[in-house]
Amino acid sequence: MNAPLNPAKAGWSAPATGDEGAASNREARHRMGALRRIRRVLGLLSTVSLWISGMLLVVMTASVGWQVFGRYVLNDTPNWAEPLSLQFMSWFILLGAAVGVRDSVHLGLDLLHHVAPGWAQKAMDVTSLTLVALFGFAMAWYGAKLAIGTWTATIPVLGWPGGVDFFPLVLGGALIGLFALERLVDTLIGVEVAADTATPELV
């Protein structure tokens, strides 16, 4: 779960003496309050994404099961089952990947990270999170361009506009970018993040 945001660790504290110190403390509290509000919004997005991913996984499994039942038992394969399952799979994979970025649960080779000194660990984290954020936003941007460019096409069987295929790429990429930026800010201000929950404690 996320550690409390600490203004002192964030480098926003100042001597609490005199008018200057009081003003600085008020500014620090204001900044931390803004970060907490942003964290709550991102936490809600993460939770909703996780629930949607889980529900779509269940629905996709049921759809594939019905396809198999129809093919081998009823001898009447539902032609909508496969393309619909592929749509659901795209959504739960990309939304789940975004939640994984926020919770820092993606697989990684961190042997070098563990043996490196503290400053090097922070540099590695900042570099990797920056690259992940850029990748996520690029995925959303080019996914949107692909959706616009293929909108006049039609998905076979389902009859949906072709651009619908790229909606998971757009939303998933945007969430990956946002969650990576959140982790990047946490790293820069010294907030520890444990990879154990998709709904971290927001303080």
199 inside domain: no
Q: What is the predicted pLDDT for the residue at 54?
A: 95
141 phi-psi bin (left φ>0, alpha ψ -120 to 50, beta other): alpha
95 inside domain: yes
Q: What is the predicted pLDDT for the residue at 56?
A: 96
110 inside domain: yes
CA distances (Å), origin 94, targets 99, 102, 127, 136 = 9, 13, 22, 10
195 inside domain: no
Q: What is the predicted pLDDT for the residue at 131?
A: 97
pLDDT mean values, one per 10 residues, the chain (203 residues): 48 53 71 83 95 96 94 90 94 95 85 85 92 97 97 93 96 97 90 55 42
69 inside domain: yes
Closest CA to 131 of 166, 97, 101: 101
* Angle ∠(142,179,41) on CA atoms, nearest 5: 115
10 inside domain: no
11 inside domain: no
Q: What is the predicted pLDDT for the residue at 8?
A: 46
Residue with tokens 């990270």: 113
SS3 154: strand
Which pair of structure tokens corresponds to residue 7? Answer: 């203004």
Contact (Cβ atoms closer than 8 angstroms) between residue 128 and residue 165: no
Residue-number span of the structural domain to which 106 is assigned: 18-189
pTM value is: 0.80
Number of structural domains in the chain? 1
65 inside domain: yes
